[in-house]
Structure 1
Amino acid sequence: MKALMMTQYGDVNTSLAFQTVAKPQISNNQVLIKTHAASINPIDYKVLRGDMKAFSKLTFPAGIGRDVSGVVAEIGSNVKGLAIGDEVFSRVAEPYAGTLAEYAVSDADHIVKKPNNLSHEEAASIPLVGLTAYQALIDIAKLQSGEKVLIHAGSGGLGTVAIQLAKSLGAFVATTTSTANVDLVKRIGADQVIDYKTENYLNEVKDFDVVFDTLGGNYTADAFKVIKMGGRVVSVSGELDGQTTKNLGLSFFIRGLLALKARKVTKAAEQKKALYRFVLMSPNGQQLSALADLYVANTITPVIDSVYKFDNSVEAFNSLVKGRAKGKIVINFVD
């Protein structure tokens, strides 16, 4: 089968190549999916450039991509509730990363049947960002109706889902975005929009219950300036917290180095008696099914920036790296 493969650590243009590889073999608890669409995420190019080497080193060539929507092609002997020909979507587990290929493997319990009101491109845009938002806002932050949440970068792939999910929970949602995207984030439900090109969000929000930090850097530490005492800060780009480093199984030495690196954030959290957690998203079929129900009800609608043909996947990654996508960038394998 044809697959886009990572050939070495490096940038998009020098380290990705199309190759012919063997069609994956599945275990008794897995499903082989004929890919109709896949979406790409910042984690893909971060792995490619070597940002995750401290946690897991790659053996090259290695597959790329974690989101997939397609049709069931083969089923493991232990799998129940799915049949060949079913339309499904999934965020595959890390050992099976490689959805930018004609076939993808997923554990059966990470798979959900595709809602009829969604195209494969729309379904492929959901899993990673949807599960990240769900686990950040519901599992960790435990966002409640009537609470106030600040979501950074509201027009991005993650932000557009997080805004809509937070609104479905009954929260007041503030978000940051550029002038060009103000109308978009208002349209999907943001109650307060801060145009970072003309406004400083630190002057516009205060005493918030939750900050969802999607940017990292100074935004992580500054989040504690806008939450109330006892608030919660959840990040996908900031420093790793102690619980996350334990969950990753890192050595005591590495955990110590990361704790030193996170001192500024840890101190800020202590001063506000606040929760700080880094989101380490895990594939979860039950949560993905709950998200699918929200899409069926049109409580959340997909926001897609652009769709590229499979042969133009490198071009798609170049667009993603620029960081200006409005919603998700999707790869089409069929049309």
Structure 2
Amino acid sequence: MKALKMTRYGDIDSSLEFQSAEVPTPKAGEVLLRVHAASINPVDNMMLRGELKSVRKEVFPVGIGRDVSGEVVAVGNNVAGYSVGDLVFSRVGEDHVGTIAEYLTVSVSHLAAKPKNLSHSEAAGIPLVGLTSYQSLIKVAGLKSGEKVLIHAGSGGVGSMAIQLAKSVGAYVVTTTSSANVEWVKALGADLVIDYKKDDYRQLLSDMDVVFDTLGGQYALDAFQVLKTGGRVVSVKGALDPQTAKELGLGWLLRKLVALKSRKLMKAAKGKSALYRMVIMEANGEQLNELGDLYQQKILSPVIDKVYPLEQGKDALSYLASGRAKGKVIVSMNDPISNK
């Protein structure tokens, strides 16, 4: 089979190449997929540049890509609920990274049935951004109907998903974006769109119930300027908080370092009697099935910018890295977006 592989840390042109590989055999608790489509995410380019070396050291060559939609072509032992011919999608676990390939094994616990009303290309754009938004807004922040939420970078993959998910629970959604994307983001359902090139959101907002930080850095700390007393800040780019560090099972010394690095954020949270949590998305087939139901009911809609054929997988990563993408960037093996 053909697969896009990282051969070393570096840039897209010098560190990625297509290689031939054996079709993998599913182990116990796994299925083998014929990949119809995959999507890429900023974490894939971070992995390529070596920014995740402290968390995960790779043995090269290694596959790239974490989102997939495809067809089950073989099942391993101890697999229940899925059989050959099933159409599924997944955010694969870290031990199965490599979705930009013709075949892939996936843990059954990370699988969900592909929504019947979506193409594989559309379904492949859901898992990582969907689970990130769901776990951040619903599971951690506990966003409720009538609450006000600020979602940064509304035109990005996570932002465009988070806007729709927040609206689905009845929240009032505020988002930030650039001038070129204001009307596009409004069409996703945002109630108030702030053009960050023209206005400072910190001067316009106050008493937000929830702030969803997708940018990190100073944005995580500035969230408390617009947050109401007792509000919640959830971040996917900010500093790790002590509670999450404990849940991750980090040792005493590492937890001390985390506490030191996050002290300003935790002080700001305490000053507002607020919650601050850094969310590290986890692959979860059960939650992905819940999201799939929302797409099946047309409560949520896929947001896709561009679809590239497999042989242009490197171009897809370059386009995502440019920062111009509105929604998801897809690599399609044999599934045009019009094919439902």
TM-score (norm 2): 0.96
Give, in angstroms, the shift of residue 200 of structure 1. 0.7
How far apart, CA to CA, are the structure 1 residues paired with 2:246 and 2:19? 37
Residue 338 of structure 2 is matched in structure 1 by none
Q: 2:102 is matched by which residue type in structure 1?
A: E
Question: Aligned equivalents of 1:6 and 1:266: distance in 2?
Answer: 38
Kindly report which structure 2 residues correspond to 1:89-100, keeping only aligned pairs within 5 A, or say none: 89-100=89-100
**Is 1:181 aligned to residue 181 of structure 2?**
yes
Which amino acid counterpart does residue 111 of structure 2 have in structure 1? I
Superimposed CA distance per residue, residues 30-75 of structure 1 (whole angstroms, 9 cap, x where no aligned partner): 1111000000001111122122222221111111111000111111
Match for residue 310 of structure 2? 310
Partner of 2:110: 110
Aligned-pair distance for 1:170? 0.6
Identity of aligned residues (%): 58
Map residues 16-35 of structure 1 onto 2, 5 A cutoff.
Answer: 16-35=16-35
Distance 1:22 1:249, change over 3 A: farther
Offset, 1:259: 2.4
Code of the residue aligned with 2:6 in structure 1: it is M
Aligned to 1:38: 38
User: Could you say which residue in structure 1 is the equivalent of 2:201?
Assistant: 201
Structure 1 stretches lacking a partner, 5+ long: none
The TM-score normalised by the length of structure 1 is 0.97
For 2:331, give the aligned amino acid. I
What is the alpha-carbon distance in structure 2 between the residues aligned to residue 301 and residue 198 of structure 1? Answer: 29
**Deviation of the 1:223 alpha carbon:** 0.3
Quick one: which amino acid aligns to residue 114 of structure 1?
K
- Of the structure 1 ranges 105-114 and 29-38, higher mean CA displacement relative to structure 2 is found in 105-114
Q: In structure 2, what is the Cα distance between the partners aligned to 1:107 and 1:123?
A: 18
The aligned residue for residue 251 of structure 1 is 251
SS in 1 for 2:112: strand
Deviation of 1:257 after TM superposition, in Å, equals 2.5
Q: Distance in 1 between matches of 2:52 and 2:180?
A: 33
Aligned to 2:296: 296
1:238 matched residue in structure 2 = 238
1:229-275, Cα deviation, whole Å (9 max, x unpaired) = 11100001111111222333333333323322222212111111111
Paired amino acid for 2:197: K
Does the 8 Å CA contact 1:34/1:71 hold for their aligned counterparts? yes
Which amino acid in structure 1 is aligned with residue 249 of structure 2?
G
1:149-298 to 2 correspondence within 5 Å? 149-298=149-298
Equivalent residue letter for 1:216: G
Length, aligned pairs only: 335
In the alignment, the residues of structure 2 paired with residue 7 and residue 259 of structure 1 have an alpha-carbon distance, to the nearest angstrom, of 36
Q: Which runs of 5+ in 2 are unaligned?
A: 336-340
**SS of equivalent residue, structure 2 residue 331:** strand
SS of residue paired to 1:101: coil
* Structure 1 counterpart of 2:55, one-letter code: F
Q: Output the aligned Cα RMSD.
A: 1.2
